[in-house]
Amino acid sequence: MDNFIYHAPTRIVFGRNTVSQTGAELAAHNVRRTLLVTGGSAAMRTGAYAQVTASLDGAGVMHTLFSGVTPNPSLDLVEKGIAAAHAFAVDSVLAIGGGSVIDCAKAIAAGVFLEDYWAQVETRRPVTQALPVFTVLTLSGTGSEMNEKAVITNEPLARKWSLSGLCLCPRVSIIDPQLQSSVPWHLTAAGGIDAMTHVMENYFRGRTARAATGYFQEETTLQLCEGILRAIIMSLDELQRDGSDYTARANLAWAASWGLNGLSGSGLSGGDWTSHALEHALSGLHPQVPHGEGLAVIFPSWMEQVCHSVPDIFTRFARTIWGVSTAEEGVAATRQAFSRWGAPDRLSRWSIPASDIPRMVQNALSYRALGRIVPLSAEDVTSIYTRVL
C-alpha cells in the first residue's frame, strides 16, 4: 500500500426532505449572500429551485441566480459566472445540480480570486483560495459533491481539464435522493457508469496477489472499491425496473459520492485515469458527448486492451464483481451490463469520424496520469478508440 493523504472534509446532509435544511446549513456557515448556480430548466421543473430558495429565504440568506450551465461547462460560462459573482458581491456559491453545475460553481468560486482561470489550470497546481462552495445534488455520478476537483472545457483549445484544491471541497452537500426521482433513465445510467469508472480507474492499479492467500497489497481499498461497485450495479438494476424507487436512488447516490472522494484511490498512488483522459479528449472535441456515456464506450475497450498485462487484478474483478472466472469474462460482463442499461457502445452514436482520432489521441497523451497501469503508446490509444468506432 503506497503512502497517501486522505482528506474529504465535506459535511454531508443526506436523506428525505434535507433540501429544506439548505438555508440553515448556509446560515450556520455565516453565509449572507450566495450565488445560486443552476443548469437549464430541470431545477425549476422538479421544484428543486423553489425548495432551495424558500429555505434560503426562511434563513435570511440572500441569493442571486446564475443559470444556464450546460453539460461539459465551458470556460466562457465560468467567466460569465465570475463576473456575476463580482457584480453581486456574493460571499459564497451554491450549486443546485449535478457534476457540471457543481464544477462550474467551484470554478467560479476559485475564479473570483484569479486573474486568469485557464492560466491557473495550465499550471496544474492546486488553488489555495476560493469562496465557500455549497451544493444541492440533483444528479449522482461525478462525485463532485464530496471532492476538490472542477472539470471545465476550454472549447477553443478543445481541452477538458481539471482544477483542484482543498478549498474547492464543498463545505456542505445536501443529498436529497427525492430530487433525483424524475431523472430520466439514460441520465441515471450514465451517472452510475461514471461513478463506476471512478472506482475502476483506481481499482485496477491494485498489485499482484500473494500466491498463498490471495491477499493484495491494497486489500482494504480493493474491498471498499468492490463494495461501492456492487452497490452501484445492484442499485442501477433496481432503478431500471422502477425509477421512482427511493431506496435505490439513495443507495446509488451514496455509493457514487464514495467513487471519487479519495477513498477508492487510497494507497493506489492516485489511480490511472486513462479512460477519463480518453473520454475528456473525446468530449473536449465533441461537447455533445455526455461524460458517462463516453466512458461507457471507452472503458471496456481500455479493459480489453490491458487486461492480459495485469491478470491478477482483472481476475479478481471478474470473480468479485460479476461472479465469473476469467479476466476476459469480466470485461465482457462489464460491457454487457453497460449495454443492458442502454448505454452506447460505439462512437458512431455521436457520428465521430475516424479522421478525428489522431487529434483525440494527441490530446489524450497530454494527460499526465495516462498509462500508469499499463504504459500506452499512441498506437495503443488509437486501438482503444478504433475498436469502438
How many whole angstroms separate alpha carbon 39 and alpha carbon 70? 6
Could you give the dihedral angle defined by the CA atoms of residues 223, 164, 69 and 192, in that order, rounded to the nearest 10 degrees?
-10
Size of the site for a copy of itself (CB under 8 A): 46
| Of positions 68, 227, 243, 287, contacts a copy of itself by CB under 8 A | 227
Cell numbers placing 269: 498512488
Instruction: Considering only the stretches 121-129, 198-206, 226-234, 345-353, report the one whose residues sit in contact with a copy of itself under the rule CB under 8 A.
Output: 226-234
CA nearest to 72, candidates 161, 135, 133: 161
- Beta strands 149-154 and 159-164 are antiparallel
95 binds a copy of itself, rule: CB under 8 A: no
Instruction: Considering only the stretches 93-101, 155-163, 233-241, 352-360, report the one whose residues sit in contact with a copy of itself under the rule CB under 8 A.
Output: 233-241
DSSP code of residue 321:
I
DSSP-based three-state secondary structure for 215: coil
Per-residue contact flags (x/-) with a copy of itself for residues 235 to 274, judged by CB under 8 A: x-xx--------xx-xxx-xx--x-------xx-------
CB nearer to a copy of itself: give 15 or 68.
15
CB nearer to a copy of itself: give 16 or 124.
16
Cell numbers placing 231: 452497490
CB nearer to a copy of itself: give 163 or 252.
252
CB nearer to a copy of itself: give 16 or 359.
16
Residues 8 to 67 in contact with a copy of itself, rule: CB under 8 A: 8-16, 18
CB nearer to a copy of itself: give 69 or 321.
321
Residues 190 to 219 in contact with a copy of itself, rule: CB under 8 A: 213, 215, 217-219
How many whole angstroms separate alpha carbon 122 and alpha carbon 156? 14
Q: How far is the CB of 214 from a copy of itself (least distance, A)?
A: 8
CB nearer to a copy of itself: give 162 or 269.
269
CA nearest to 274, candidates 332, 197, 216: 197
DSSP-based three-state secondary structure for 200: helix
Q: How far is the CB of 316 from a copy of itself (least distance, A)?
A: 13
The residue written with cell numbers 426562511 in the block is 58
DSSP-based three-state secondary structure for 14: strand
Q: How far is the CB of 264 from a copy of itself (least distance, A)?
A: 11
CA nearest to 183, candidates 235, 140, 230: 140
How many whole angstroms separate alpha carbon 309 and alpha carbon 350? 31
The site for a copy of itself (CB under 8 A) is made up of 1-16, 18, 213, 215, 217-221, 223-228, 230-231, 234-235, 237-238, 247-248, 250-252, 254-255, 258, 266-267
